[in-house]
Amino acid sequence: EAQVTQNPRYLITVTGKKLTVTCSQNMNHEYMSWYRQDPGLGLRQIYYSMNVEVTDKGDVPEGYKVSRKEKRNFPLILESPSPNQTSLYFCASRRGSSGSYEQYFGPGTRLTVT
Amino acid sequence: AQSVAQPEDQVNVAEGNPLTVKCTYSVSGNPYLFWYVQYPNRGLQFLLKYITGDNLVKGSYGFEAEFNKSQTSFHLKKPSALVSDSALYFCAVSVHGAGNMLTFGGGTRLMVKP
């Protein structure tokens, strides 16, 4: 089954404790992206990657890091989480370099930083 | 900068009645427009998209949307609503030739009552 998986689904942590949210897709997609969803703000793009070793900032990259060492994986790293990063996070992938293709989303990771 | 507006936080309709969820956008260049749906505790699912050609596009579950260039709108419609259509709907836009950024609206919650 074609899918995007994320782990963990739920995470409660404390300020300053580094964490990684994993994302993997099995569709051989070139493009992957991370979003955060906050009430009333919709989804905002954090980082995206056009292919292996190619990443770029989205609208809200501050406080986040990403890497793309393999085509299928695109982990999101919070090196020093803060309470304002409490949010619902989605990973997504799509094929190709054109924005005309639809994105496939993972199930989401709900992060709480205390 | 590109942006999307969904002017209604919530739309209430009775089952069997037609529904419309509104979306307007602002971009520099030709837009690619998308509708996604989010059911509780799930990731976003693609419904339909406008890339080029016919202004009326048809998608999953009987939904359709009409691209109106002069009004910069892309409203989502369905002739007869079902209770199971109740969900959170997002409109999104990217730009031809600069398709790495996908910008979402704030979302509209659709409530269909029996």
Which residues of A make CB contacts under 8 Å with B? Answer: 4, 31, 33, 35, 40-45, 48, 50, 56, 58-59, 90, 92, 97-100, 102-108
Inform me whether the pLDDT recorded for A104 exceeds 80.
Answer: yes
- Mean pLDDT within A46-71: 94
Residue from A64, A110, A35, A21 nearest B102 by CA: A35
Report the DSSP beta bridge partners of residue A48. Answer: A33, A56
Cβ burial B19-57 (10 Å sphere, 16+ → b, else e): bebbbbbebeeebbbbbbbbeeeebbbbbbbbbeeeeeb
- pLDDT band at residue A26, thresholds of 50, 70 and 90? very high
Which parts of chain B sit beneath pLDDT 50?
none
Side-chain-facing half-sphere of A104: CA atoms under 13 Å: 19
CB contact under 8 A, B99 and A99: yes
Query: How does the average pLDDT of chain A come out, rounded?
Result: 94
CA distance to A65, A105, B88, per residue, from B99 (Å): 21, 17, 24
**Selection from A40, A92, A106, A44 nearest residue B109 by Cα:** A40
Q: What percent of chain A has pLDDT over 90?
A: 85
pLDDT of residue B1: 80
- Chain A within 8 Å of B28 (Cβ-Cβ)? no
Q: Is the minimum CB–CB distance between B79 and chain A shorter than 8 Å?
A: no
Mean pLDDT of A42-48: 93
Closest-approach residue (CA) in chain B for A106: B43
- The answer for residues whose C-beta is within 8 angstroms of residue B87's C-beta and 6 or more apart is B37, B38, B39, B40, B109, B110
- Report chain B's C-alpha Rg in angstroms: 14
Q: What is the pLDDT of residues A72-95, one digit of tens each?
A: 999 999 999 999 999 999 999 998
Instruction: Identify the band that residue A99 occupies on the pLDDT scale cut at 50, 70 and 90.
Output: confident
List B residues 80-99 in contact with A (Cβ-Cβ < 8 A). 90, 92, 94-96, 98-99
**Helix boundaries (H) for B5-81:** none
